[in-house]
């Protein structure tokens, strides 16, 4: 079960990244919303579900510092994506950085598990 959950989580993280990048790069607001709501949101949810499943299967406490930090960072990133697609004119380089940097940090926490 653990290998299956790991593969599912990698695919969910990739979906989350693709949705976030698409929400920042698409030219039309409608397309940006499609990436945000159609990929980033479901990718976020699946990432969390797979993460909780892995934590249970591996008997790792979800109160571990690295897990809590990863959850906070990924939730912050999703909020930035939703902010960016909420209204025209909110997509800036700073907003894109605030959406992507926490995701990169989250992946680093998941890989290195400090």
pLDDT in tens, 49-62: 999 999 999 999 99
pLDDT-derived band at 19 (thresholds 50, 70, 90) equals: very high
Q: Taking the CA of residue 22 as centre, how many other CA atoms within 13 Å lie in the half-sphere pointing to its CB?
A: 19
Answering whether pTM is above 0.85, one says yes
Instruction: Give me the phi and psi of 111, to 5 degrees please.
Output: -80, -45
> Mean pLDDT in the chain?
95
Please report the pLDDT score of residue 75 as a whole number.
Answer: 97
């Amino acid at each position: 079960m653990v290998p299956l959950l790991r593969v599912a989580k990698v695919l969910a993280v990739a979906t989350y990244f693709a949705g976030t990048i698409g929400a920042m790069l698409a030219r039309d607001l409608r397309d940006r919303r499609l990436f945000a709501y159609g990929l980033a949101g479901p990718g976020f949810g699946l990432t969390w579900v797979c993460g909780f499943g892995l934590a249970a299967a591996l008997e790792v406490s979800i109160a571990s510092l690295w897990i809590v930090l990863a959850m906070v960072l990924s939730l912050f990133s999703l909020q930035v994506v939703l902010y960016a697609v909420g209204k025209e004119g909110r997509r800036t380089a700073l907003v894109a950085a605030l959406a992507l940097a926490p995701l990169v940090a989250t992946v680093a926490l998941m890989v290195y598990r400090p």
